[in-house]
Each structure stands twice: as C-alpha cells, then as structure tokens.
Amino acid sequence: MSTAVTDGIEVSVQSEFRPERSAPGQARFLHTYTVLIRNGGTSGARLLSRHWIITDARGEREEVTGEGVVGKQPHLEPGQ
C-alpha cells in the first residue's frame, strides 16, 4: 500500500494483480486499484480532480487525470 498526506488529506492506494484478466504470454498484466481518502484536517474538503502517475515494472509511465473520482466530487468533513 502506498500512502501520502498533504494538508491533512491522506490518500492510500492498494493495487491488486488480476491474473484472470491478464495475458502474461502477451506481456499484458491487469491491476485494479483501491483508493482510500481520509480528511485528517480541521475543515471540510472536496475532491475536485485526480492526477495519478502509474509506473510499470519496465519503468513506463502513464498519467491519468480527470474531474473528481467515479464521476463524483465528494465532500469530506474532518475525520471522514
């Protein structure tokens, strides 16, 4: 699990290899990601956008950006 904290907002990401959706013989490997966001600050916060940098085992990078997450922009109160 990877975790980062910025201004009291903690983001943790757990990746999981999905062998049933992968084809190692064709160098295709699928992973899913579970993201947990916690507001450890003293005021509310809203997730407006996302920016992930994904680096594979060969060092190739992919950047993912977009509004919110799963089409939503959730508001997190302190402690949520």
Q: What is the DSSP letter of 28?
A: B
Global pTM reads 0.75
Query: How is the chain split into domains, by residue range?
Result: 2-74
**Architecture of 2-74 per CATH?**
Sandwich (2.60)
Q: Give the strands of the sheet with 2-6, arranged side by side.
A: 2-6, 9-17, 31-39
pLDDT in tens, 44-73: 999 999 898 988 878 999 999 999 988 899
Residue 78: the pLDDT is 96
pLDDT of residue 61: 95
Q: What is the pLDDT of residues 36-45, one digit of tens each?
A: 999 999 999 9
Q: What is the pLDDT of residue 69?
A: 85
